[in-house]
Structure 1
Amino acid sequence: MALSPALEPWSLAEVPGPVVPNKEHHQARWRRPRLAPQHHRPPRDFPTSGFQVIDPSDKIEEERLPFYKRDDHYPISMGEVIGGHYQVVAKLGYGTTSTVWLGRDLRDGKYWTLKVHINNIKYDQESVVYRHLADIATNMVGRPGRQHLRELHDSFTLTSQHGDHEVFVMTPLGMTLRTLQEMQPKHVFEKVFVTSAVDQVLLGLYYLHAAEVVHTDLHSDSLLAAIIDNSVLADVEEGEILQPAARKQDDDRFIYVSRYMLGGPGPLTICDFGQAHIGSEHRGPAMPLPYRAPEVILRMDWGTPVDLWAVGLLTWSLLEPTALFDLYTPDSPELNDAHHLAAMTALMGPPPPEFLQRSEEASKYWSEDGIWKGPVPVPTDLTFESLATSLMGEDKEMFLNLLNGLLCWLPEERLTAEQAYCHLWLRDGGEK
């Protein structure tokens, strides 16, 4: 069965809510051409008073993150024009390696997300991945799924007294899937929404894997909904004019409180390529701890099947209120791994011998016959069937059949993105 283009946006058509969008250079030779010189609109004046002043001793926003260093960040001022023609009109969010702003292009009035990186990034993997995707785009024409991957429109460099800061210019996106989920009753979605969301993720992975890119960081925080009503962007700017964001002064700079964006959710977009890998086979740490595939935990070679493992966990988490895996023992990585693998053993049964033979680490947890001998017990009451409470009858059976095809020990036995997309549980769930 061939993949079809993406379905219409969400089943939940209009679900406004607060969001801090995703925490998010490519080289000059592959930048999109600059627009021909145009008559610039004058930048707007932004208020210099009338906002809440936060006590300088209080830590806010990015200051609360581990390893935060003030001089790593570019000291943006609200209303500042950067990159020659982008006026900063609101702060949207922050992350460990960047702050994220809404900017308006003074040439044509169009809004863009401006992701301003810290100045001490030694190697920018996200830039490498964006460059790779741009370089092979002509060979991928006609392959569905590209519309579900975030694109880099432009980039430039800002220079502060402490170093250079790369800035990504990207299409503004709305709420994360996690934020939308937190707004739902019991923090789960109806099946028709889940199947539509998973469809779009699989289409994006279908394109990404054909481009030999493994995402490795797929979860509801790295999935953002497109904005279907661009008037919300103008509303965000007006909000900053009429009721400027709270802020604190830190010597020569302000640190601003991020502004929420409201807007109905559009199609899903896969973001956050900073942990992505190019190529079919890799080794070493990958994936957020609770989302790790077994081959990653056991230090085996890994590739695109880790993303399908993540799709299995994502599908479950959108539909069921109880997580399959957790961060069990944060202060002991070895015990945390043991708990994680024990839970997998309870849910999936013992790993097959050919899996165990691929890693010396496996001998810490199982005998050659697959008998558990790890330092923590295998849970006795943990099964997919008992934990899955949102569906009934044949619908539940088909859902668990999909999960079994995604959450299994041997990576080569997992469904591919195309196979998962064609699974009957997805094709029989909602508008097709």
Structure 2
Amino acid sequence: MRGLIQGRFWWSADRYVTVKINAIDLERKIAESELDIMQHISRSRLWPEGRHFVRSLLDSFRLQTAHGEHICLVFEPLREPLWILMRRFEDEVLPPQLIKIMLQMLLHALDFLHSDCHVIHADLKPDNVMVRLEDKSLLHKSALDEMKDPAPQKQCHDRTIYLSRNNFGHPGKITGIVSITDFGYAVRGDVPQHGPIQIELWDLMEGDSLFRAAKPMESKYDDEKHLAYITALLGPPPADLLARGRRTSMFCDQQGEPLRDNFSLKRGIFTCDTGKLNNPDLIPQDFSFQNSVNKVDGEDKKMFLTFVRRMLKWQPAERSTAKELLDDPWLGERPK
């Protein structure tokens, strides 16, 4: 939701802002968590380069309505998420050179979040990375367009719902500065965490997910297939890692006995002491890093795969940090 707000003091200029409002009580916990994380980030007194690529919280307030109390977060308006930007390119895939520049910004941002704020975003995907406005006058133009030609709307019994204006059209001049947004699922990294982390940035390069973990013709997530795909790329998971897992017993078969989960009776996907797949048929035989990359070739493909392998490791301690990845040869020189 974008809007024009009056300055708090008479000498403050009017400006456009984005207000994010949690819609229903079911989202309250997420909204409270995001507010806490954003306030925590705002309290950091450090100003490394990466801070410029993390969306800052300008203000917050609580709004009381007939449906209860809503948490409202105030942010700087941004142009569009990466999934809209991707639609402007051939095959809806960003060019590798643009990806390299954006990845450097994102890695700087993640280094700030991880090293200085001890925050893990946990939901980094094209929806939650947005491109900054190349010209803030676009906001005023959009407001005038709304006044002259209001967006479609429908009247409910207690409110009016408007169609979102989420597309400013093709950029009038070069843009590409990005910001990480939406910290609703973010967690603190300086205390133990056990929740899932979802990362979908592979989509930027290939326009598709690396791990096709959904069952054919269904949207339901298949955790067994997901684990099988990962194993196909990385080899068997280390036994000590399996031993530390909180849900290992759902997927490990130590004595060859069937395991029961909430949905069906099945055997474990792994043999615990070796990490070996019990059901290799879960993955295609031709699945590999090499066959999963089609948008680059030659030496660039080789360097890209080396870059990716630095992140995809079973053991967290073996994964390169965001700061270490910034020096990877595939990214090239840092932008001046």
Which TM class, normalised by the smaller chain length? Answer: 0.7 to 0.9
Q: Is the 8 A contact 1:339 1:376 kept in 2?
A: no
- Distance verdict in 2 for CA 1:351–1:228, change over 3 Å: same
Question: After the TM superposition, which of the residue ranges 240-249 and 356-365 deviates more from structure 2?
Answer: 356-365
Once the two structures are superposed, the pairs formed by residues 16-415 of structure 1 within 5 Å of their partners are 101-107=1-7, 108-118=13-23, 120=25, 121-123=27-29, 124-135=32-43, 137-138=44-45, 140-141=46-47, 143-210=48-115, 211-262=117-168, 264=171, 265-287=175-197, 291=198, 310=199, 313-314=200-201, 316-329=202-215, 336-359=222-245, 360-361=248-249, 362-363=251-252, 364-367=268-271, 368-374=273-279, 377-415=282-320
Q: Which amino acid aligns with 2:226?
A: H
Q: Which amino acid aligns with 2:328?
A: H
Q: Is the 8 A contact 1:338 1:374 kept in 2?
A: no
1:252 deviation in Å? 3.1
1:134 deviation in Å? 2.1
CA distance in 1, matches of 2:220, 2:79: 37
Provide the secondary structure at the position in 2 that maps to 1:260. Answer: coil
CA distance in 2, matches of 1:224, 1:150: 9
Q: Is the 8 A contact 2:34 2:185 kept in 1?
A: yes
1:245 deviation in Å? 1.2
Q: Which amino acid aligns with 1:253?
A: R
1:250 deviation in Å? 1.0
Q: Which amino acid aligns with 2:42?
A: A
CA distance in 2, matches of 1:356, 1:422: 32
Work out which structure has the larger RCO, using CA pairs closer than 8 Å and 6 or more positions apart in sequence: 1
1:173 deviation in Å? 0.5
Report the counterpart of residue 80 of structure 1 in structure 2: none
CA distance in 1, matches of 2:280, 2:194: 23
CA distance in 2, matches of 1:422, 1:413: 17
CA distance in 2, matches of 1:358, 1:166: 37
1:344 deviation in Å? 1.0
CA deviation vs aligned residue, 1:103-130 (integer Å, no higher than 9, x gap): 1123323111111223524431001101
1:386 deviation in Å? 1.6
Q: Is the 8 A contact 1:346 1:379 kept in 2?
A: no
1:357 deviation in Å? 2.7
1:416 deviation in Å? 0.3
How many percent of aligned residue pairs carry the same amino acid?
A: 31
- Distance verdict in 2 for CA 1:110–1:332, change over 3 Å: closer
CA distance in 1, matches of 2:150, 2:243: 60
1:259 deviation in Å? 1.5
- Distance verdict in 2 for CA 1:250–1:319, change over 3 Å: same
Alignment TM-score, normalising by the size of structure 2: 0.83
Unaligned runs of at least 5 residues, structure 1: 1-100, 292-309
CA distance in 1, matches of 2:303, 2:240: 28
Q: Which amino acid aligns with 2:192?
A: H
Report the counterpart of residue 59 of structure 1 in structure 2: none
Q: Is the 8 A contact 2:20 2:72 kept in 1?
A: yes
